[in-house]
Amino acid sequence: MTARLDLFHPDREPEAAPGRYAPSPTGRLHLGNLRTALIAWRSARDRGARFLVRIEDIDTGRSRDEWIEVQLEELRQIGVDWDGEPVRQSERHDLYREALSKLEADGLLYECFCTRAEIREAASAPHGELPEGAYPGTCRELTEAERAGRRAAGRPPALRVRAAGARVGFDDHLCGRVEKTLDDFVVRRNDGDFAYNLAVTVDDADQGIGEVLRGADLLDTTPRQLWLYDRLGLAAPARFSHVPLMLGEDGERLAKRHGAITLEERIEAGESPASVRRELFDSADR
C-alpha cells in the first residue's frame, strides 16, 4: 500500500468538500439521470463547493468511449458545469488494485467460483441472518486444494469480501435511517473487472467527496461501501443523499416506452434545453 489511499482531506466538511456526478458511459443520459446530475450540482454549488464529474467506465462489457463526450455534452446543455477534467475509472486501476491488496493482506478476501445459477439455487435455502438473495457463502471456507481444483476446471474466480453478517447503518440525508445486514459481496468480478462498490468507494475517498448524491436505486449499495471505507481505513463522505427516481406517468421507473426521455428527443420535439432544465428542477422541488 502506498500512502495514497490514506490521504487525509482537511477540507472534508460538507460545506467545502466537493460534490460529484458519476455517470457510466453506456448510453445517453435519460432525464432522470440529468435531474440527479442537476440536483447534485446545485447542492455542491449552494455550499460553495467544487463539483466533479467522474466517468465510471470500469464495466468493460458495457462502457463505450463514444458515450463519454455525448454525456458530457448533455450535462453542458442542461447547465451543469464542473471543475477540472473528468477522471476516468479505467485510468485508476492501480488504486483499486492497492485497495484489494490491503483487503487481501487483512485476510478479508476470498475467491468465489460460483455461477449465478448456483448462487440462486443455494440462496433459496434458509440462511438465518442473511437477507434474501444474499450470497450464501458457498466458497467462503474452501480449502486450497478445492480452490486449485476449481481453477484447474477452468472457472475464473470472482473475489468476495468477508462481510457476511455485518450490520451497517447510516442516516441518509433524504431517505432517513438505513440499516442493512451485509453478505460477502463481490469486489472483483470473475471477468476481471473491478466491482462498482470497490471503485466508487476508493474514488469518493480519493477525491475527498463531501456529499455523495445519486439515485435512490443505489441506496442499498451504501452500507457495503461504508463497510469498505471502514476496512480500508478511509474517511467516508460526510453526507449521502439518495434522490427519488423520476417515474413515468404510470408510476413506473422511466423507460423508453414513456416516450421522449432523453434531452435529444425533447429537443427534437421542439423544446429548449432551458425549458427541460426548468421542468427537471420543478419536479425535484415538488
Residue 222 binds ligand GLU, judged by CB under 6 A: no
CA dihedral 163, 164, 166, 172 (to 10 degrees): 80
From the list 16-24, 141-149, 150-158, 164-172, the region that binds ligand GLU by CB under 6 A is: 16-24
SS3 28: coil
Q: In terms of CB distance, is 85 or 141 closer to ligand GLU?
A: 85
Q: How far is the CB of 24 from ligand GLU (least distance, A)?
A: 4
Q: In terms of CB distance, is 218 or 254 closer to ligand GLU?
A: 218
Q: Which of 216, 218, 238, 245 binds ligand GLU (CB under 6 A)?
A: 218
Q: How far is the CB of 224 from ligand GLU (least distance, A)?
A: 12
User: Distance (Å, rounded) from C-alpha 8 to C-alpha 18?
Assistant: 14
What are 207's three cell numbers?
Answer: 477525491
- Whether 166 and 227 have beta carbons less than 8 Å apart is answered as yes
Q: In terms of CB distance, is 218 or 267 closer to ligand GLU?
A: 218
Q: Which of 56, 57, 183, 211 binds ligand GLU (CB under 6 A)?
A: 56
Pairing of strands 239-243, 211-215: parallel
Q: How far is the CB of 149 from ligand GLU (least distance, A)?
A: 36
Q: Which of 150, 214, 266, 277 binds ligand GLU (CB under 6 A)?
A: 214
Q: How far is the CB of 134 from ligand GLU (least distance, A)?
A: 21
- 67 alpha carbon, distance to own chain's centre: 18
- Whether 227 and 185 have beta carbons less than 8 Å apart is answered as no
SS3 2: coil
Residue 254 binds ligand GLU, judged by CB under 6 A: no
* Orientation of helix 273-285 relative to helix 31-46, angle to 10°: 70
Residue 224 binds ligand GLU, judged by CB under 6 A: no
Site for ligand GLU in 79-118 (CB under 6 A): none
- Whether 216 and 175 have beta carbons less than 8 Å apart is answered as yes
Q: Residue numbers of the site for ligand GLU (CB under 6 A)?
A: 22-24, 56, 200, 214, 218
